[in-house]
Chains A and B, each alone.
Chain A
Amino acid sequence: DTGVSQDPRHKITKRGQNVTFRCDPISEHNRLYWYRQTLGQGPEFLTYFQNEAQLEKSRLLSDRFSAERPKGSFSTLEIQRTEQGDSAMYLCASSIVLAGATDTQYFGPGTRLTVL
């Protein structure tokens, strides 16, 4: 089990450009989450998928943000027309939910985005 992986680990882009991040969850985990973390703050929930269905989106997820999880495996998070306020660490987590159990999430190392 290799854990949750994210690519790239770092991304520097200019304001107005589009960026896409990828997350590979732990194999057979049916839930996948995206969070965003700015400096000095705790992570903030953005969205989550159960298999390929996107079941919840935060109000933080403006219409410039889109996430997909085709075939219920890896996920991508795209930010269009980036703004300097998008600079943050983008974290992915996955979990497998068993009947009667709570949802323990396993996080990846994150993608650090810097918008110039």
Chain B
Amino acid sequence: DAKTTQPNSMESNEEEPVHLPCNHSTISGTDYIHWYRQLPSQGPEYVIHGLTSNVNNRMASLAIAEDRKSSTLILHRATLRDAAVYYCILQIQGAQKLVFGQGTRLTINP
């Protein structure tokens, strides 16, 4: 399974932007980059995904490096409710299961 590397933890302040990095140097051309997050005592929640181009949705933005070996999840204005573990996952085209790593535990300070 294609692997991703994320920092174990990050901290930010409320109402500030947050940039969560992910390295995936072994990505292949058909792998999608997915981000999920897991709030305390809840199941994971889909955030965003992309293939080559940057993507935006109501929750976040995904910036993908030109060589696709890294990506960054951007929360434009963090709130306390964004405190969660964020997982960056490569989904091989045609594969079904998600392979979760340890993720990044994001703490938001009021």
| Interface residue count on the B side (C-beta < 8 Å) | 20
Q: Smallest CB–CB gap between A34 and chain B, Å?
A: 10
Known A91-B44, A102-B32; contact A41-B102, beta-carbon cutoff 8 A: yes
Q: Are A91 and B97 in contact (CB under 8 A)?
A: no
A110 adjacent to chain B (CB < 8 Å): yes
A72 adjacent to chain B (CB < 8 Å): no
Q: Are B100 and A44 in contact (CB under 8 A)?
A: yes
- Residues in B whose Cβ lies below 8 Å from that of A103: 91, 96
Cα–Cα, bound, A36→B45 (Å): 15
Q: Are A102 and B49 in contact (CB under 8 A)?
A: yes
B10 adjacent to chain A (CB < 8 Å): no
Cα–Cα, bound, A105→B89 (Å): 12
A67 adjacent to chain B (CB < 8 Å): no
A33 adjacent to chain B (CB < 8 Å): yes
Q: Are B49 and A104 in contact (CB under 8 A)?
A: yes
Q: Are B45 and A107 in contact (CB under 8 A)?
A: yes
- Residues in A whose Cβ lies below 8 Å from that of B42: 109-110
- Residues in A whose Cβ lies below 8 Å from that of B80: none
Cα–Cα, bound, A4→B49 (Å): 20
Cα–Cα, bound, A103→B90 (Å): 12
Q: Are A48 and B97 in contact (CB under 8 A)?
A: yes
What residues of chain A have their CB less than 8 Å away from a CB belonging to chain B? 4, 31, 33, 35, 41-45, 48, 55-56, 58, 91, 93, 102-110
8 contacts between A and B (CB under 8 A): A33-B98, A42-B87, A43-B44, A102-B49, A104-B34, A105-B44, A108-B43, A110-B43
Closest 9 CB pairs of A and B: A42-B100, A107-B43, A45-B97, A102-B32, A107-B44, A43-B100, A91-B43, A110-B43, A104-B46
